[in-house]
Amino acid sequence: MIRLPNALLSLFACLCLSAFNAGAADIKNVRIWPAPDSTRVVLDTSDPVTHTAFTLNNPERLVLDLPASRLQTSVAKLNFKGSPVDTIRSSQRPDNKLRIVIDLHHKVNFKIFALPPNDAYGHRLVIDLTNYQIEGAKLSSPPSQQQAIKSLELVNSQRNIVIAIDPGHGGDDPGASGPRFNGKYLREKHVVLAIGKYLQEEINRMPGFEGVLVRSGDYYVSLRGRTKKARQASADLFVSVHADAFKNSSARGASVWTLSKRGASSEMGRWLAQKENTADLIGGIGGVSLDDKEEDLAKTLLDLSMTHSQSTSLGVAKSIHKNMAKMARMHKKQVERAGFVVLKSPGIPSVLVETGFISNPGEAAKLRTSAYQRKMAKAVATGIRQYFYANPVANTYIATVVEAKRNQVKYKVVRGDTLSEIAQRYNTSISKLRAANGMSSKSILQIGQQLVIPAG
Ligand SMILES: [Zn+2]
């Protein structure tokens, strides 16, 4: 009797399988390569393989479907340390599809592509996972119940509006310095990081919004690096947070800035812009060139996309200014303009918020307290929310909510109306009517009151 070696046997099985399933592939091995900014997962396949992929959240997962394929290796012993991957699971679907589920610690961006054989490897399917939640993701607390509910609401619904929050300076670049408190100088980089974190909290609390921190610790990020991170997060808005100094310590007041193509609208603007822009020299990066595009083309692109997002930038800035004015002294009655490099983010509407002058002793004393920092964050978040509700972005959760509100039927209460009568008239129930209008069982109908009639 002839004994075939095992390897040959499996090759045989493999060949037979391919013969019967056109395009079928075996996953012979799975390899993982974690790097600081990205993780590469490689599937060694017996043949070129097609795929479909999608993500699921809460918990975060990347799902990969391969037609008529089989996993011929164990993924149990893979070491995922230093990667966003928690586990890899697989299942054979009834339609002979192989489903691979990559459980993730946090949200990622992914790119999947096939590679032909080379000297070392055969056919491969490569999954590149890049960090979506920029740094500090592991430090963030587990999602609250509220966030979980928020995510549930968003299932099968529309996308979130993503706000990139950019606390200025950091690391070697402390930004402006204020007076000393308990022997230590109050530093802009610390104040704006605290405000930025509160702002993220406030934004994540608003359904349909998502806050992403561009800097989440005490380290330096180049000005270009900041906008790049915002682009990577597919941000709808970029908000840079500062608390600067002026040569004259009596200068005071918070301000909101948008980009000016023609120069600053005031001496203050020129001064601040010059200070903010020189911050980048510390990081060793100069100029405004985009990394991968020809300089000329880049300038044109920058120009085009800037005019496009200019009106949004100004709209958001006005809305933030209005809300900040309710809780802080403002430097000017209107939004100001200057040539901040950090605001030159192609395609992303951008605003810069000066939360106050850290060089002014009175404002510094306020800016160092968490109560004031939170209040400031709340005002900025409210400004953002109000703008996007008034100007909803297509295909977002907010757009859906606004559309639903527009289509709502309303009824004005007249003398003699009862809740049960109105419910009957509109073919709904008293409890639904109460719920739609935030009424308790003790609430009394008022003549002239506008009632929202629930759909259905
Ligand atoms: Zn600053």
Q: Could you report the per-residue pLDDT of 384-413, keeping only the tens digit for each?
A: 999 999 999 888 889 888 887 887 788 899
At residue 293, the pLDDT reads 39
Give the integer Cα–Cα distance in Å for 195 and 208: 21
**Average pLDDT rounded to a whole number, residues 204-217:** 93
Q: How far is the CA of 276 from the centre of ligand 1 (A)?
A: 6
**Average pLDDT rounded to a whole number, residues 41-59:** 87
Terminal CA-CA length for the chain: 75
408-453 has CATH 3.60.15.10 classification:
no
Residue 444 DSSP class: -
Q: How far is the CA of 141 from the centre of ligand 1 (A)?
A: 28
Least confident of 32-41, 155-164, 236-245, 283-292: 283-292
What digits encode the pLDDT tens for the residues 316-355? 999 999 999 999 999 889 998 887 777 776 678 889 999 9
Q: How far is the CA of 222 from the centre of ligand 1 (A)?
A: 13
| 8 Å CB contact between 375 and 327 | yes
pLDDT at 299 over 60: no
What totals of helices (H) and strands (E) does the chain contain, helices first? 11, 19
What digits encode the pLDDT tens for the residues 20-46? 444 578 898 898 877 656 677 888 899
The set of residues, in sequence order, having a beta carbon less than 8 Å from that of 321 and lying 6+ positions away, is 255, 256, 330, 334, 335, 383
One-letter identity of residue 214: V
Average pLDDT, the chain: 79
Q: How far is the CA of 140 from the centre of ligand 1 (A)?
A: 25
Q: How far is the CA of 130 from the centre of ligand 1 (A)?
A: 29
Percent of the chain with pLDDT over 90: 29
Q: How far is the CA of 174 from the centre of ligand 1 (A)?
A: 9
Least confident of 65-74, 246-255, 297-306, 316-325: 297-306
Q: How far is the CA of 271 from the centre of ligand 1 (A)?
A: 11
Question: For 124, what's the count of Cα atoms within 13 Å in the CB-facing half-sphere?
Answer: 19
At residue 331, the pLDDT reads 87
**Average pLDDT rounded to a whole number, residues 207-229:** 87
At residue 295, the pLDDT reads 47
Strands 108-115 and 61-66: unpaired
Strands 69-71 and 25-34: parallel
Q: How far is the CA of 353 from the centre of ligand 1 (A)?
A: 9
DSSP lists the bridge partners of residue 85 as 104
**6-131 CATH:** 2.60.40.3500
**Average pLDDT rounded to a whole number, residues 121-143:** 61
Give the integer Cα–Cα distance in Å for 192 and 380: 13
Q: How far is the CA of 281 from the centre of ligand 1 (A)?
A: 14
At residue 251, the pLDDT reads 81
89, containing H or E segment:
strand 85-92
Q: How far is the CA of 351 from the centre of ligand 1 (A)?
A: 13
Ion ligand 1 residues within 5 Å by Cβ: 168, 175, 242, 244
| Domain locations in the chain as residue ranges | 6-131, 145-398, 408-453
Say which CATH architecture domain 145-398 belongs to. 3-Layer(aba) Sandwich (3.40)
Q: How far is the CA of 319 from the centre of ligand 1 (A)?
A: 21
Q: How far is the CA of 241 from the centre of ligand 1 (A)?
A: 7
What digits encode the pLDDT tens for the residues 82-118? 788 999 998 888 788 888 999 999 888 888 877 777 6
At residue 456, the pLDDT reads 59
Model confidence band, residue 300 (pLDDT cutoffs 50, 70, 90): low
At residue 454, the pLDDT reads 80
Q: How far is the CA of 250 from the centre of ligand 1 (A)?
A: 18
What backbone torsions phi and psi does residue 367 show, to the nearest 5 degrees? -60, -20
At residue 22, the pLDDT reads 45
